[in-house]
Structure 1
Amino acid sequence: MLNIHKTVDTDILIVGGGIGGLMASICAGEQGLSTIVAEKAHVRRSGSGATGNDHFLCFMPEIQNITLKEMINEMLAGQVGPWHDTQLTKVFLERTAEMVHRWHSWGIDMKPFGPDYVYMGHAFPDRPRMYIKYDGHNQKEILVKKAKEVGVAFLNHHPATDLLAENGRVSGAVLMNVKEDEPSFVLVRAKAVIMATGCSTRLYPSSMTPAMLFNSGFCPSCAGGMASAYRIGAKLVNMEYPYTHAGTKYFARCGKATWIGVYKYPDGRPIGPFVRKPTRELGDNTSDVWKSVFLDVMNNGTGPAYLDCSEASPEDLQFMRQGMVSEGLTSQLDYMDKEGIDPAHHAVEFGRYEPLLFGRGLEIDETGSTNIRGLYVAGDPIGNFRSGIAGAVTWGWISAEHASAYARDVQLSDKTLSDASIEQRLALYDKLLRRENGAPWQEFNIALQQLMNDYCPAAPRARSETLLRAGLKYMADLRAHALRDMAVPNSHMLMRGLEVLDLIDLGEAVMTAARERRETRVQHIRSDCPFTNISDGEKFITVELKEGKPVTAWRKRRML
């Protein structure tokens, strides 16, 4: 029988050692609080920002020459805005310049072109620029070093399997040590917990290579991280809206704004109206506006869509290559060099990636807090805000500021040591490990992806009451089969199996929210509700687990 191997006490527990988690840990460590980062992989190379980034959304009015209101409006009109509570947008923007200055002072080059910050990419002609172009190839290395300097403790290869709570307050977590074949478990008592587990992938089949579960444009190991918060009562929001990214086809690497070219049809006509010649200042943001463009041109027979860089100058092509290094796309560069793919002469096909939970997830307020006291969120798992690397950095810092203040005023709970849910969950894990004749976790993950793709698809395909009702029934069946039939031979496979169970919980929440939103809006298309309800545009749907069942509620969007 599995049991708790040891117990550890800390002021702040941070679940996830990506960019958001590291920023939170540095902030808490600088304030003198004992801080532990629990990471399922290794903090040196984990999360979607592991190998770099090169665009940082930031408000600097002295450079941009715009007001805060204008910046908010520009952000809400772009690719990230429709799912924001604008109160959070304001709080975020007011802190972004501080974060950029902080990063530059630590040694992450936010000014790679000279003495000033430079805005470029993800922009419309004649509109304000929102993104600073920077060199983030070493951002992970520097943040890990900084966290160590302020006394942060790392528990690498220790995924958090469960959060613990009592009376509406988080009290700790159970971590699983996956360094050995036989798992061991650590009980962490914490005054506050910050969830920074990244986006949730592997919910839908890979649109590029469906047979390859881990070929994703984002970190494929972040699967289901927010489910442990959901299970203790944290609210989810905006789950009905799928998020899809885009990039080079089949290679599944993001960084589309790093490319300097023009999206074109096979006959050479530009697809979008925004740029006609390659420009490093703008990029081609057609896919930021026309979300399903790469899929649409394939479906209507006018594709494929190619990014044509042949008219870019040699200087811009070299600039683009360096940007790919900053973005962490070195594996793609190596492949292109090996295969003789030269953007100066070869157009590169782009495609839309599969839906994932990114900027859809846990609901927070202006402090980064959830509805569970002491539970905060940083970065990609936030459901009512999204802004990529800048969001991870800024909300990591904000959440840690408030979590640290909260932790100073509370005590560790003695009841955590006797929490009945620990024994129940460990009994489940033991059953999965000891089962001799069962199916591997991959079968259930693939079945989950098929259900989501068939019964709760992303636009341009439609959803309906009948599809979603059937999908929810099948999702319950899949959970029952997984609990009954899944077999995992070691700790690593147990980790993957638990990710699938988490994803099933989240998939059920997605379907439940999609069923509740009886209208067509953005990428949520209902064939049985084809019209858009104007009044519902300023309302968000939350999903909360009550007595083991997902329950929806409507609330007003929090506007300024």
Structure 2
Amino acid sequence: MIKTNKNIQECDVLVIGGGIGGLMAAIAAADAGARVIVAEKSDTRRSGSGTTGNDHFNCYIPGVNADSLEECLKEFRQSLVGKGSYDVSIQKLFLERTFEVVQDWHSWGINMKPHGEWEFNGHAFPGRKRVFLKYDGRNQKPVLTAEAKKRGVVIENKTPIRDYLTDANGQIIGAVGVSIKNTEPELKIFKTKCIISCTGNASRLYPSITPSQMFNTAHCPCCCGNGRAAAYRAGASLINLELPNTHAGPRYFERCGKATWIGVLSDPEGKPVGPFVTKPNKELGDVTADVWHGVFNDRFKDGTGPVYMNCTETSPEDMEYMIWGLNCEGDTSLLDAMDKQGIDLSRHMVEFGQYNPMLIGRGIEIDEKGATKVPGLYSAGDETGNFRSDIAGAAVMGRIAGEAAAAEAAARPAIDDQLETHEVVKELQELCSQLMEREAGDSWKDFNYAIQQLMNDYAGISIPRSENLLRTGLKYLIDLENAALGAVGCKDSHELMRALDAFDLALMGRLIFLTAMERKESRGLHRRSDFTFTNPLMDDMMLMIYQLNGEPVTDWRKSW
């Protein structure tokens, strides 16, 4: 039987995940007087999708990039991160508070104006306002970690959380996870008045563009939808899961930062494939892929591709600026690989490709304060489903959720529940014990690869979805989960963590199948062969899924 650490740590606010959203939530809650613990799967100094840096921060700076909030909001809602099934009320609140976060980051030592002034470029349309601030985020994780520690935040690294604990009234009272600090794992229990779930993307649900290399992902491969799964099991609603969301970049070497490139997306002859730019433009980039998400696959299939990032006409000054930006974005391994292979961007075009779906902006439903339908449970960052703004969204909504959670915690009485005997703790103890006692069992990797295969074949983007395919894929996935429960074995804490990741990914897959069946239309990359049209009556409707008496239930609502 797996051991349980008898030292139950107590706090007012427990932050799950020490990425950008989690650290900003922790800082805000501590500033409001709360006792805060951050439970991080890896190490907050280098974890999450912002681990090695970023270089674009979506924001509104009055009088600089727009004359009014409404003007900026309009442009934001046409951007890569703002367009879609999201709540306008949250988007507006987010923009209202972006500048204060930008100023704080700059004062803390993250260089938000590296060239001496506020500079907006990339992800932009010709002749329109620009809403992405260029910055140097290479040191953002160490800086935010230091700021959290200055405020007395306790950081528990190597502590992935599996489940959120609620009382008989459905209110948050704690969380349980697995400490992986040593080879031998042990359960770790936290008692808390509020939780802020900030576990990022859900990578590894679909295959990498190089299927044999599971961790070749544009976003953090350790973010596996754990917060979404825990929130769903605790009673929260998930939203927009059925709408695939993809990223693009260098083919076979998955990396973010396509707006950092100063070039033109071109066909093999060097001719532009989009209508927005014909020459490299530092202020604009090439927004074609933001608008035409399938450009790479479409051109590949119709014989006019591949599509390349063409920087052969980029000026030496802009080339230097671009390389600097890729370093700020954290794409140093990509730059190293191109250097080793003798790729000269002034002479060689680089083939780009569309990556498989991920779940940024698909996940936990929140309100304007970051609160979910579960009392005491908040969420921020990439795992929220009715709002998206990537790095900036995580930072700002993390702050908002931290403030709200601290206020709620201050108003709640002390928790006197005995968490060691909580039913969810006992269930996790039993599951982990089974996996650890089966050392000669099947590998978690085989389980994860099988999940990816099923998701790609039956709920992917290359083959249109249909009722028959979705029902078949769901059955296969349920069969796979049941088989894995009796077959997967783990030798140490690391393998146990990965196995639990795979079970959470399987849950996310099941919910995607169910919601994709419910959305009986084609919309964006959710293409149905049996419902080929886009229903205009559903333009402002969002699909939720949650548990009722232990069973999944879908429901629709209008955007706020």
Instruction: Give the whole-Å Cα distance in 2 for the aligned partners of 1:229 and 1:328.
Output: 30
Q: Quote the residue 2:72 is aligned against.
A: 71
Other-structure match for 1:325: 327
Q: Distance in 1 between matches of 2:231 and 2:3?
A: 22
Contact residue 171 and residue 416 of structure 1 kept, 8 A: no
* In structure 2, C-alpha distance between the alignment counterparts of 1:298 and 1:412, rounded to whole Å: 60
In the alignment, structure 2 segments of 5+ residues that lack a partner are none
What aligned pairs does 1:47-126 form with structure 2 within 5 A after superposition?
A: 47-80=48-81, 81-114=83-116, 116-126=117-127
Given candidates 375, 382, 386, the residue that maps to 2:388 is 386
In the alignment, does 2:360 pair up with 1:358? yes
Query: How far off is 1:70 after superposition?
Result: 2.3
Q: Which runs of structure 2 are paired with 1:545-556 in the superposition (5 Å)?
A: 545-556=547-558
CA distance, structure 2, for counterparts of residue 346 and residue 531 of structure 1: 41
The superposition leaves residues 132-180 of structure 1 with CA deviations (integer Å, 9 ceiling, x where unpaired) of: 1111111111111111111111111000011111212111111211121
CA distance in 1, matches of 2:463, 2:469: 12
* Corresponding position: 1:402 with 2:404: yes
1:453 maps onto 2:468 in alignment: no
Distance 1:272 1:66 in 2: 29
1:443 and 2:446 matched: yes
Q: Partners in 2 of 1:194 and 1:274 — Cα distance? A: 40
* Distance in 1, Cα, partners of 2:411 & 2:418: 18
AA at the equivalent of 1:471: G
Q: Give the match for residue 370 of structure 2.
A: 368
CA distance, structure 1, for counterparts of residue 293 and residue 333 of structure 2: 26
In 2, the alpha carbon distance for the partners of 1:70 and 1:511 equals 38
Distance 1:494 1:411 in 2: 35
**Cα distance in structure 2, aligned partners of 1:467 and 1:77:** 33
1:4 counterpart residue number: 4
How far the C-alpha of 1:413 sits from its partner, in A, is 2.4
Question: What is the alpha-carbon distance in structure 1 between the residues aligned to residue 363 and residue 318 of structure 2?
Answer: 38
Show the 5 A alignment for 1:29-428.
29-80=30-81, 81-114=83-116, 116-166=117-167, 167-207=169-209, 209-225=210-226, 226-417=228-419, 418-428=421-431
Whole-Å separation in 2 of the counterparts to 1:453 and 1:142? 38
Letter aligned with residue 308 of structure 2 = Y
TM-score (norm 2): 0.97
Quote how far apart the aligned CAs of 1:411 are. Answer: 2.5
Query: Could you tell me which residue of structure 2 aligns to residue 430 of structure 1?
Result: 433
Alpha carbons 1:189, 1:416 under 8 Å: kept: no
Residue in structure 2 matching 1:494, options 493, 496, 505 = 496
Question: In 2 relative to 1, CA 245–416 (structure 1 residues): closer, same or farther, beyond 3 Å?
Answer: farther
Letter in 1 for 2:476: Y
Letter in 1 for 2:377: L
Deviations 1:391-433 (A, max 9, x none): 0100110000100000001134222423122112201110111
- Conserved 8 A contact 1:17-1:38: yes
Matched residue, 1:468: 470
Query: SS where residue 14 of structure 2 aligns?
Result: strand
Say which is worse superposed, 12-21 or 538-547, in terms of deviation. 538-547
**In structure 2, distance between residues paired with 1:464 and 1:141:** 46
2:249–2:258 Cα contact (<8 Å) kept: yes
Q: Corresponding residue for 2:24?
A: 23
SS in 1 for 2:543: strand
- Give, in whole Å, the separation in 2 of the partners of 1:231 and 1:283: 42
> Contact 2:477–2:510 (CA<8 Å) still a contact in 1?
yes
Per mean C-alpha deviation after superposition, the further-off stretch among 413-422 and 466-475 is 413-422
Q: Which runs of structure 1 show a deviation greater than 4 angstroms over 4 or more consecutive aligned residues? A: none
Kindly indicate whether the alpha-carbon contact (under 8 Å) linking 1:7 and 1:188 is maintained by their aligned counterparts in 2.
yes
Structure 1 unaligned residues grouped into runs of 5+: none
Identify the range of structure 1 (119-128 vs 71-80) with the bigger mean alpha-carbon deviation.
71-80
For residue 543 of structure 2, what is the aligned residue in structure 1?
Answer: 541
Alpha-carbon separation, structure 2, partners of 1:335 and 1:533 = 45
1:199 and 1:356 map into 2 onto residues whose CA distance is 7
- Counterpart CA distance in 2 for 1:52 and 1:65 is 26
Cα-to-partner distance string for 1:54-82 (whole Å, 9 max, x where unaligned): 00000123112332222222222222221
SS in structure 1 of the partner of residue 77 of structure 2:
helix
Asked if 1 retains the 8 angstrom alpha-carbon contact of 2:33 and 2:406, the reply is: no
Letter in 2 for 1:441: W
3-state SS of 2:469 partner: helix
Partner of 1:528: 530
Q: Tell me the distance in 2 between the aligned counterparts of 1:392 and 1:547.
A: 32
- TM-score (normalizing by structure 1): 0.97
Deviation of 1:436 (Å): 4.0
Question: Whole-Å Cα distance in 2 between the matches of residues 416 and 136 of structure 1?
Answer: 43
Aligned positions, number: 555
> What is the CA–CA distance in structure 1 between the aligned matches of 2:549 and 2:224, rounded to whole Å?
24
Distance in 2 between residues matched to 1:528 and 1:398, nearest whole Å: 42
Is contact 1:363-1:382 (8 Å) kept? yes
- Aligned to 1:129, the other structure's residue is in SS state coil
Alpha-carbon contact 1:189-1:412 (below 8 Å) kept: no
Letter in 2 for 1:435: R
- Which stretch shifts more, 65-74 or 401-410? 65-74
Partners of 1:65 and 1:85 in 2: CA distance: 21
Q: Label 1:416 to 1:377 Cα distance change in 2 as closer, same or farther (>3 A).
A: farther
| Separation (CA, whole Å) in 2 of partners of 1:512 and 1:75 | 31
Aligned-partner residue type, residue 512 of structure 1: L
User: 2: CA distance between counterparts of 1:86 and 1:382?
Assistant: 14
**Distance of 2:34 and 2:66 partners within structure 1:** 39
